[in-house]
């Protein structure tokens, strides 16, 4: 009967639901244990200037080095960490660890690299965030101007006054602020002018489109022009090919990050990468004049 089939479907739905809930709780427990056990690790992905291909910084990207499963990428655990609130202690660990690593690299005279740290929505709404950042900087004795905090559009659009207050408190510390995944969230551009933001990170989706057709190029170019007209720097994410890099350079994009330069690397690999990297061998790319 129809009723019976509905009941069965509902029964199945319940079972699937509780399985999902159980799985989520298990993952939540595991993340908590992993934080205590020190199984999280930061990888670093190089960022270079498109002007001369000099290495300018790195983005810190979290990985879970699981004793049985190996390396787990953030898409598998950040959403649950975010929902459960575990992102707050995790994010605090990330910030302190990135600052500590910068101190180590400074002591090694590895050059004055800027490090980008991702901040989650939940963290951004923690009143204590500016104090926490200030403490991480002070404890590691690093130059705050070399720390860049990556925020997303959706975070900034949530509530006007609270957002502005938080951004001002963070900017006051001397750190720089970036908008990550630019172009994928709300498309309100008004906030770009209102908020003390330094950099726009052009999402990989637009970089991918560069190779495809004229529309892709028009959009990337529009984002770069808009950012520059508001005195914001631009970094393109997910640059995989020389063709993409050269198109971005011609449109005046400031920096790139992506597999073409390097994947996210362990501390040891990144340190070796910095030691062996030379901007030479890469020609500088002529830029288009405005309007072209």
Residue 240 binding partner per list Mg ion, ligand C2E, none, with a CB distance cut-off of 5 to 8 Å that depends on partner kind: ligand C2E
Residue 257 within binding range of Mg ion, rule CB under 5 A: no
Which residue has 């403490």 as its token pair? 135
Q: Which residues pair with 58 in a beta bridge?
A: 46, 115
Closest CA relative to residue 44, chosen from 148, 145, 124: 148
Q: Which of 34, 56, 94, 155 binds ligand C2E (CB under 6 A)?
A: 94
Q: Which residues make Cβ contacts (< 8 Å) with residue 53, sequence separation at least 6?
A: 279, 282, 284
Q: Which of 154, 230, 259, 288 binds ligand C2E (CB under 6 A)?
A: 259
Residues 171 to 200: which contact Mg ion by CB under 5 A? 180-181
Is 91 or 252 the residue whose CB approaches ligand C2E more closely?
Answer: 91
Residue 65 to residue 106: CA distance in whole angstroms: 26
Is 99 or 109 the residue whose CB approaches ligand C2E more closely?
Answer: 99
Residue 99 within binding range of ligand C2E, rule CB under 6 A: no
Judged by DSSP in three states, 46 sits in strand
Task: Find the helix packing angle between 87-107 and 129-140, rounded to 10°.
Answer: 30
Contacts 24+ apart (CB under 8 A), 203-206: 203/237, 203/238, 204/237, 204/238, 204/258, 206/236
Residue 202 to residue 182: CA distance in whole angstroms: 5
Residue 73 within binding range of ligand C2E, rule CB under 6 A: yes
Q: Which residues make Cβ contacts (< 8 Å) with residue 238, sequence separation at least 6?
A: 203, 204, 207, 208, 257, 258, 259
Q: Which of 24, 51, 74, 273 binds ligand C2E (CB under 6 A)?
A: 74
Cα separations in angstroms, 240 against 43, 51, 224: 18, 18, 18
Residues 192 to 211: which contact ligand C2E by CB under 6 A? 204
Q: Least distance (Å) from ligand C2E to the CB of residue 180?
A: 5
Site string for ligand C2E, 28-57 (x = CB under 6 A): -----------------x------------
Say how many residues touch Mg ion, by CB under 5 A.
Answer: 5
Residue 91 within binding range of ligand C2E, rule CB under 6 A: yes
Is 118 or 176 the residue whose CB approaches Mg ion more closely?
Answer: 118
Residue 250 binding partner per list Mg ion, ligand C2E, none, with a CB distance cut-off of 5 to 8 Å that depends on partner kind: none
Q: Which residues pair with 45 in a beta bridge?
A: 59
Residue 240 within binding range of ligand C2E, rule CB under 6 A: yes
| Sites of contact with Mg ion (CB under 5 A) | 118, 150, 180-181, 237
| Sites of contact with ligand C2E (CB under 6 A) | 45, 61-62, 73-75, 78, 91, 94, 118, 120, 150, 180-181, 204, 237-240, 257-259, 264
């Amino acid at each position: 009967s129809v009723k019976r089939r509905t009941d069965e479907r509902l029964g199945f739905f319940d079972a699937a639901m509780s399985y999902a809930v159980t799985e989520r709780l298990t993952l939540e427990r595991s993340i908590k244990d992993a934080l205590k056990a020190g199984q999280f690790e930061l990888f670093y992905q190089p960022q270079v200037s498109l002007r001369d291909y000099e290495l300018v910084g790195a983005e810190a990207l979290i990985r879970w080095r699981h004793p049985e499963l190996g390396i787990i990428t953030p898409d598998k655990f950040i959403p649950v960490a975010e929902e459960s609130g575990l992102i707050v202690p995790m994010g605090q660990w990330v910030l302190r660890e990135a600052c500590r690593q910068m101190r180590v690299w400074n002591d090694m005279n590895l050059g004055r690299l800027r490090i980008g740290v991702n901040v989650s929505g939940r963290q951004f709404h923690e009143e204590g965030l500016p104090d926490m950042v200030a403490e991480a900087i002070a404890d590691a004795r690093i130059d705050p101007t070399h720390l860049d905090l990556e925020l997303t559009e959706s975070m900034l659009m949530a509530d006007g006054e609270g957002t502005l207050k938080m951004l001002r408190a963070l900017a006051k510390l001397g750190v720089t602020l970036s908008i990550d995944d630019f172009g994928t969230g709300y498309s309100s551009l008004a906030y770009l002018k209102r908020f003390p933001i330094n950099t726009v990170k052009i999402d990989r989706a637009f970089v991918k489109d560069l190779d495809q057709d004229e529309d892709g190029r028009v959009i990337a170019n529009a984002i770069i022009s808009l950012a520059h007209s508001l005195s914001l720097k631009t970094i393109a994410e997910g640059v995989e090919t020389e063709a993409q890099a050269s198109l971005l350079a011609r449109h005046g994009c400031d920096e790139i990050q992506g597999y073409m330069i390097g994947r996210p690397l362990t501390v040891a690999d990144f340190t070796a990468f910095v030691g062996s990297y030379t901007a030479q061998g890469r020609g500088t790319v002529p830029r288009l004049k405005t309007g072209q």
